[in-house]
Amino acid sequence: MSRFLSAALASLVVAAVVTVCRPASSADPNPALLKPSLAAETAPESYKVKFETTKGDFVIEVTRAWAPNGADRFYNLVKIGYYDGAVFFRVIDGFMAQVGMHGDPAVQAAWMKASIPDDPPTQSNTRGMVTFAAQGAPNSRTTQFFINFGDNSYLKQYGPFAPFGRVVEGLKVVDSLYSGYGEGAPKGRGPSQGEIARQGNAYLKASFPELDAITRASLLAP
């Protein structure tokens, strides 16, 4: 494996582990944003999610049988509006695009430890496949996910990277997400996950204004 991919993998495994205590906003549209236990529905066996972004739209099709725990978590996060406004804070050419830290530090803090059990990988991390990131330990997936730009099938050797869906429309939109900042801090010049957790989207907008974001994620009718 190349040194570049090894470094990228090391950072991928470690999602931010920073505790942040902030008052909840009275404008929170869904109580589950601050209380993860309320978002615990079982997902349909198959469903599609439309992502509207600052670069255009793309659609992810989820197959629950591939990774039931991941599919259920993704379904609930989309349903409560968790991903609306989320920034693609880590986009590495030839590797993947990562998103899933909430723009409000209070919401991010609420979900930081709301982990789900691992799913045994049944699919490979090939181009267009969608997978949850982890914190470098068993059963540590929470909200962050990534979309594979290329064949990253080797990831199955390094952790619970179980694809739960794939991009079925708009993969060129995903390819066009801004990647100019590269790897995140401290290894690269991109955003620090710790600072995102502490400051939210305000930090990203001030220091990394070129990054693309999800404007809205919605479940499509069957």
Residue 51, domain member (yes or no): yes
193-202 confidence digits (pLDDT tens): 999 999 999 9
Tokens read off for 54: 């600052």
Q: Which domain holds residue 209?
A: 3-17+45-219
Q: Give yes or no for a contact between 59 and 198, defined as CB atoms under 8 angstroms apart.
A: no
Residue 85, domain member (yes or no): yes
Residue 72, domain member (yes or no): yes
CA distance 204 to 155: 28
pTM above 0.85, yes or no: yes
Question: What's the domain count of the chain?
Answer: 1
pLDDT at 23 over 90: no
Tokens read off for 132: 């949850």
CA distance 64 to 58: 19
Residue 185, domain member (yes or no): yes
Residue 26, domain member (yes or no): no
What's 195's domain CATH number? 2.40.100.10
Share of the chain above pLDDT 70, in %: 87
Residue 187, domain member (yes or no): yes
Residue 29, domain member (yes or no): no
Residue 34, domain member (yes or no): no
Q: How confident is the model at residue 24 (pLDDT cuts 50, 70, 90)?
A: very low
